[in-house]
Amino acid sequence: MSVTKTKPKIDIRYFGSIKDQNSTEAQAIKSIMIACDNDFVPPLSHREDASKPLGVQKSPDDITPYWLEIIAQENIVAQNEKGDIVAFMSFKNKYQDAEKFSGVVKDGDTINYISTICVLHDYRRLGIASRFYDWMEVKLPRTVRGECISTRTWSTNNGHILWQLFPVCLYPCLQYHQELVW
């Protein structure tokens, strides 16, 4: 006899930037970053800036500088049925990098640059990251929704790369820019 595990109810919410470092939300994001630290290459604790090339960053071995940057960005969170934050997506609204996006997007397009997605281990494989992207595309408040979404990932992150291939067909009004880091 097999036991079927019930899928937990997950709500997605837009939080924007989090001003109070001591808030429950900011502390929950920090806890998730610590839990997911070594799932990233390089680890989150070795980063200082979400938009700098990963190879040129200092290695502080402290998650605090990167966490402070993440909570200052726009944030979308996933909450379980108890209201606990179990995942987040942070992004820079109205991101500008003329050199990186030259020939990829039109001049003047609003770009939302996704810097980090973290999902607690027990909540992975439930479609949370896909739901975050849905929010980015159609549910964000108009004041922060962009014409373009940009993200970067390692060339070995197959789940993220494969996801990027399909939404273009589902959401033709948006352009995507994927930067692979080899």
Query: Was domain 11-181 assigned CATH 3.40.630.30?
Result: yes
Residue range 173-179: mean pLDDT, rounded = 46
Q: Which residue in the block uniquely carries the two structure tokens 């990027």?
A: 164
pLDDT 10s digits, 14-72: 999 999 999 999 999 999 999 999 888 778 887 766 555 555 545 556 889 899 999 99
pLDDT 10s digits, 143-169: 888 878 877 665 555 555 444 444 333
Read off the pTM.
Answer: 0.78
What is residue 101's predicted lDDT score, i.e. its pLDDT?
A: 63
State how far the alpha carbon of 175 is from the alpha carbons of 98, 107, 108, in Å.
16, 13, 13
